[in-house]
Amino acid sequence: MRDPLPQSFYLKPTVEVARNLLGALLVRTLSGGETLSGIIVETEAYVTGDPACHAYCGITPRNAVMWGPAGHIYVYRSYGIHEMLNLVTEREGLAEAVLIRAIEPVEGIETMRTARGGIKSRFELTNGPGKLAQALEITRAEFNGMDITRPNAALAVYERASEPEIKATTRIGITKGVELPYRFLIPKNGYVSKGRPSVAPI
């Protein structure tokens, strides 16, 4: 397989990166050598001046990675339970990121099923940010701050085959900035998350 997407891919405006990630292949290599992969089908953009963005209130130990170089991984825990996978965008000093919300499983489906507690439906293995992290065994301890553009990394993103149809809607599961159309997904894909936008799709 070719090299992972380079840092220049993540140095573009965050909304553009969020759109360009749709259709790309997310590949997780487990410590045992097994490969898990899936096509990214849903993302959300978090930008400067956005009240829903973790970085909105300034730099803290938790969100420090967002201020760092593009192409690094920001993982944090939500509701005390779920791990969230984000990819840092923009230049250093500008704290923006893309949340990966859902993928369509390609390789390692049985392993993902086991990691998810034996769930039967393959549509529900990775259709939500918390589920995706659980299925791919992505933890904050191992991945927060890691460079995703490095060859042979435990997690990598590869260029998409072709540009998919893209739909923009409002974001999900937040209480601030709900009106911004920063959620992007591939319509009619059965693996997107089930949450619904609070406003009609744009």
Partner DNA sequence: TCCGCGATCGTCT
Partner DNA sequence: GACGATCGCGGAC
Residues that bind DNA (CB under 7 A): 44, 46, 52-55, 57, 60-63, 66, 74, 76-82, 84, 86, 97, 99, 116, 119, 124, 128-132, 140, 171-176, 193, 195
Query: Shortest gap between Cβ of 47 and DNA (angstroms)?
Result: 10
CA distance 87 to 116: 23
Least separation in angstroms between residue 65's CB and DNA is: 10
Rg (CA), the chain: 16
Helix (H, G, I), strand (E, B) or coil at 134: helix
Q: How far apart (Å, rounded) are the C-alpha atoms in residues 88 and 133? A: 16
Give min distance, CB of 118 to DNA, in A.
10
| Nearer to DNA (CB atom), residue 119 or residue 146 | 119
Q: For residues 33 and 49, which CB has a smaller minimum distance to DNA in the complex?
A: 49
In the complex with DNA, the residue whose CB is nearer, 108 or 128, is: 128
**C-beta closer to DNA: residue 5 or 53:** 53
For the chain, strand residue ranges (E) read 25-29, 35-46, 73-78, 82-88, 97-107, 155-158, 167-169, 183-185
Least CB distance to DNA at residue 152 (A): 26
Token digits for 82?
A: 């779920």
